[in-house]
């Protein structure tokens, strides 16, 4: 029996890992804490930081691993690239992952190209970001150069809260370095694709809905195939061009962009992995009608039977509840799962948790993957909220 090392065994990766197990592989896991999916029948598990490469390499050798797998996480994709190069396995290259997980390196790699980017600078101390903000005379984005998700990412429009946001960005940066960028007014899109036979091809464009305020957190992404906009094909071409310039040749490509009032497209960042919360493995597979999860596994050398997927519009919608306090009871989850249009629904909260404000990608309350166009998805979101009741100790309902 061939052996697979799954790096990051959390809920986002669990369905794909289960698919590997169902195909008859023996799966061993690496996870950074005790929060891995306990329903997975892993042969063994190593709890280790994804950057503890010595411990992970030792575990790899002890278990005599044949293949590796990971997705959706900037930290675990680095581990996969390291193991890929060390043991000559199928996987992403270290060069590609360094260029797509370090925001400063990516910006500078593309700085001499015709790719539109906001004005940016590397920040090593507070006085540098203060000078950048005052010189620019407009809103800026502050972000760690090497964090994952939206941790430490802020929009700043006032000198009064600049230091607070800067310190939070530093706190969330492994290198303690921060990048400051000009804020581009407009709307945000994601462009997702896959490297088929080493060549990147963009397949789906999603239109983001963002939370209000300074936190840069998405509350929804709509892949509406009825939106035959010129911007869709233009964005795909730009995404492919950037992936080629960065020499990406393996697995998923996941780009994020801002579109301004002139329909000019500015790069936010491009990752050489799937987007989180099943963006690439599920949403993009539905939007393209291609079993992209299956293609990803085959890229890692893991043979699977391909699924037939019906092409359709789809929406990834995050559900936010207005109640606050300790959760006493959650009612109606089973009713949500009975809705035909809901492909997948997950609560990220449970009884006994504190229901707090959403401040990052990691603490959103719930999400649903809904089949259908934007108008249909909006109606289904409203139905989900109607069917769910959250009882807390503060508000009682």
**Cα(387)–Cα(195) distance, rounded to whole angstroms?**
40
Give the per-residue pLDDT at 300.
Answer: 98
The H or E element spanning position 12 is none
**Cα(280)–Cα(141) distance, rounded to whole angstroms?**
26
* Encoded tokens for 148: 């994952």
**Cα(74)–Cα(72) distance, rounded to whole angstroms?**
7
Nearest to residue 140, comparing CAs of 180, 176, 177?
A: 180
**Cα(353)–Cα(106) distance, rounded to whole angstroms?**
38
Half-sphere exposure at residue 93, Cβ-oriented, CA atoms within 13 angstroms: 10
Cα 397 from chain centre: 32
The pairing of strands 154-156 and 140-144 is antiparallel
Give the per-residue pLDDT at 396.
Answer: 47
Low-confidence residues of the chain: pLDDT under 50: 396-397
**Cα(154)–Cα(157) distance, rounded to whole angstroms?**
10
Cα 86 from chain centre: 26
Beta strand spans in 211-321 (E)? 218-223, 252-259, 265-271, 314-319
For 157-167, what is each residue's pLDDT tens digit? Answer: 999 999 999 99
Nearest to residue 58, comparing CAs of 5, 130, 102, 132?
A: 5
Beta bridge partners of 329: 391
From residue 77, how far is each of 4, 100, 112, 221, 225 by CA, in Å? 15, 10, 27, 23, 30
* 3-state secondary structure at position 111: coil
Cβ 186 vs Cβ 258: under 8 Å:
yes
Cβ 293 vs Cβ 356: under 8 Å:
no
* 3-state secondary structure at position 216: coil
Domains of the chain, each with CATH number or no CATH: 3-91 (3.40.50.20), 119-182 (3.30.1490.20), 185-299 (3.30.470.20), 314-392 (3.30.470.20)
For 61-83, what is each residue's pLDDT tens digit? Answer: 999 999 999 999 999 999 999 99
Q: Rounded to the nearest 5°, which phi and psi values hold at 343?
A: -75, -40
Give the per-residue pLDDT at 397.
Answer: 45
Which residues are CB-contacts of 279 (< 8 A; sequence separation ≥ 6)?
Answer: 72, 190, 192, 206, 221, 254, 316
The pairing of strands 26-31 and 252-259 is unpaired
Cβ 316 vs Cβ 274: under 8 Å:
no
Q: pTM for the full model?
A: 0.94
Cβ 26 vs Cβ 1: under 8 Å:
yes
Which residues are CB-contacts of 111 (< 8 A; sequence separation ≥ 6)?
Answer: 117
Location of structure tokens 């108008």 = 375
The H or E element spanning position 159 is none
**Cα(30)–Cα(229) distance, rounded to whole angstroms?**
42
Cβ 98 vs Cβ 145: under 8 Å:
no
* Encoded tokens for 251: 């697995």
Give the per-residue pLDDT at 138.
Answer: 95
**Cα(237)–Cα(247) distance, rounded to whole angstroms?**
15
Give the per-residue pLDDT at 360.
Answer: 64
The pairing of strands 120-123 and 44-47 is unpaired
**Cα(262)–Cα(281) distance, rounded to whole angstroms?**
32
Cα 156 from chain centre: 23
Cβ 306 vs Cβ 294: under 8 Å:
yes
Give the per-residue pLDDT at 111.
Answer: 96
* Encoded tokens for 331: 């009612």
């Amino acid at each position: 029996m061939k052996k697979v090392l799954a790096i990051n065994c959390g809920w986002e990766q669990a369905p794909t890992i289960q698919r590997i197990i169902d195909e008859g592989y023996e799966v061993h896991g690496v996870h950074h804490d005790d929060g891995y999916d306990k329903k997975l029948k892993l042969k063994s598990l190593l709890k280790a930081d994804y950057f503890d490469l010595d411990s992970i390499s030792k575990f790899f050798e002890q278990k005599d691993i044949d293949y590796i797998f990971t997705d959706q996480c900037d930290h675990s994709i680095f581990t996969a690239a390291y193991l890929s190069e060390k043991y000559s396995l199928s996987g992403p290259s270290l060069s590609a992952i360094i260029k797509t997980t370090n925001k400063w390196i990516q910006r500078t790699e593309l700085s001499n190209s015709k790719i539109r980017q906001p004005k940016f600078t590397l920040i090593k101390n507070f006085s540098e970001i203060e000078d950048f903000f005052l010189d620019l005379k407009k809103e800026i984005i502050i972000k760690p150069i090497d964090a994952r998700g939206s941790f430490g990412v802020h929009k700043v429009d006032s000198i009064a809260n600049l230091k607070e946001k800067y310190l939070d960005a530093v706190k969330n940066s492994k290198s303690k370095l921060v990048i400051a960028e000009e804020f581009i007014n407009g709307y945000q899109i994601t462009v997702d694709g896959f490297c088929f036979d080493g060549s990147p091809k963009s397949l789906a464009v999603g239109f983001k809905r963002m939370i209000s305020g300074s936190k840069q957190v998405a509350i929804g992404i709509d892949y509406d195939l009825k939106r035959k906009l010129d911007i869709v094909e233009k964005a795909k071409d730009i995404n492919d061009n950037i992936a080629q310039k960065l020499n990406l040749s393996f697995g998923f490509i996941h780009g994020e962009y801002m579109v301004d009032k002139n329909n000019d497209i500015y790069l936010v960042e491009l990752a050489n992995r799937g987007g989180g919360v099943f963006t690439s493995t599920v949403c993009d597979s539905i939007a393209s009608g291609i079993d992209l999860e299956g293609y990803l596994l085959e890229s890692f050398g893991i043979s699977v039977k391909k699924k037939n997927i019906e092409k359709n519009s789809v929406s990834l919608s995050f559900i936010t509840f207005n109640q606050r306090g300790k959760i006493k009871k959650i009612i109606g989850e089973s009713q949500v799962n009975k809705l035909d249009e809901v492909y997948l629904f997950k609560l990220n909260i449970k009884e006994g948790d504190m229901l707090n404000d959403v401040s990052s990608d990691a603490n959103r309350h719930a999400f649903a993957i809904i089949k259908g166009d934007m108008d249909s998805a909006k109606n289904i979101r409203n139905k989900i909220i109607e069917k769910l009741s959250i009882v807390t100790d503060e508000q009682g309902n």
